Amino acid sequence: MLKNMKKSTKSNVITLGIVVGFYVLIQILSAAGALTNSFSGQLVPICAYVIMAVSLNLTVGMLGELSLGHAGFMSVGAFSGTLVYVVMSENAPQPLALLLAFVVGGAVAGLFGVLVGIPVLRLSGDYLAIVTLAFGEIVKNVMNACYLGVDSHGLHFSLKDSASLNLEVDGKVLINGAMGITGIKKASTFTIGIVLVIITLLVILNLVNSRAGRAIKAIRDNEIAARSVGVPITKYKLMAFVTSAVFAGVAGVLYALNYSSLVAKKFDYNTSILILVFVVLGGIGNLRGSVIAAAVLTVLPELLRSMNDYRMLIYAIVLIVVMIFNQSPEMIALRKRLTARFRKEDAEGKGAKDKEKKGVA
């Protein structure tokens, strides 16, 4: 038990070290003027996608349920958090408005996670995937038809058009249907993104290595056996699903506040599929792999932009090659050899410490 704890702690430190090292590297390159404007513009989306991939891996990898509605939770969090930021930034300090935006975005996404999760988690497999995909599309279509305004008399809501809001002279349209939210003051930075990535990793890694995490994995491996020994299935399924939704909402706020406008079409089913691709290519259940895959595959299309018409073709080929290589017998054997080597080094280190203790005694 103690040996497994040491191994997981070492793995967690390596994962967090990769994130911190990436941040330090970017700061050095930025100070040297070696970053292009295109790559600099990708830094915040990279952080948002890393959070999305890590949180989805909690549902897909640790819980073993296929969810295709992650973009829906991202959309709910993005719109609610951005609305809070737009309203609060006029009368409150920006750091406070930004903090409230992240808290509200995560809380609202978590609330929708509860509302969706209670009935949906009774399903499994393809049925769960279809229902969560439908949830994401419903959210997108509702936001496309939503009009929200504010004046001295309070909030006004409509599903028709902005003219039906009946705003006074001093009124302001907050959400304008398919045009979404415009005139957003950009507030997301790479530093904020890295902090949120670290918080996400700390929370999910601690959850995975806790008693609750072991129960979630037991449900994934054999739900009937877990139920037979008294594991509350619904409780732990909902815990994983809602935690995943909360961080998707936080990622949505981070992503939205990196642009001057926010539209619902950014969060369609293609986004959910893209996040799932990050999880699968990084390794289902491998949080470190999700971090690396999300970062690399977000930057890759920009690096291939000079290829013009062949850009997406090369991108698809890279995905296929990585997938085949990741599941090849040689790669699996290499991972086993590395694991055995680390275990051997740990055993030798432990033996050396025991000898030192006996010598002192």
Domain ranges of the chain: 41-266
129-174 confidence digits (pLDDT tens): 888 888 888 888 888 888 887 776 767 777 777 666 766 556 677 8
What local confidence, expressed as pLDDT, does residue 79 receive?
Answer: 92
Name the more confident of 9 and 114.
114
What local confidence, expressed as pLDDT, does residue 254 receive?
Answer: 94
Mean pLDDT of 5-17: 75
The answer to whether 49 touches 267, Cβ cutoff 8 Å, is no
Q: How far is CA 154 from the centre of its chain?
A: 34
The answer to whether 35 touches 26, Cβ cutoff 8 Å, is yes
Name the more confident of 36 and 51.
51
Single-letter residue type at 58 = L
pLDDT surpassing 80 at residue 309 = no
Q: Which two tokens stand for residue 246?
A: 């909360």
The answer to whether 276 touches 56, Cβ cutoff 8 Å, is yes
pLDDT surpassing 60 at residue 40 = yes
Could you report how far apart the first and last alpha carbons of the chain are, in Å? 27
Name the more confident of 84 and 164.
84
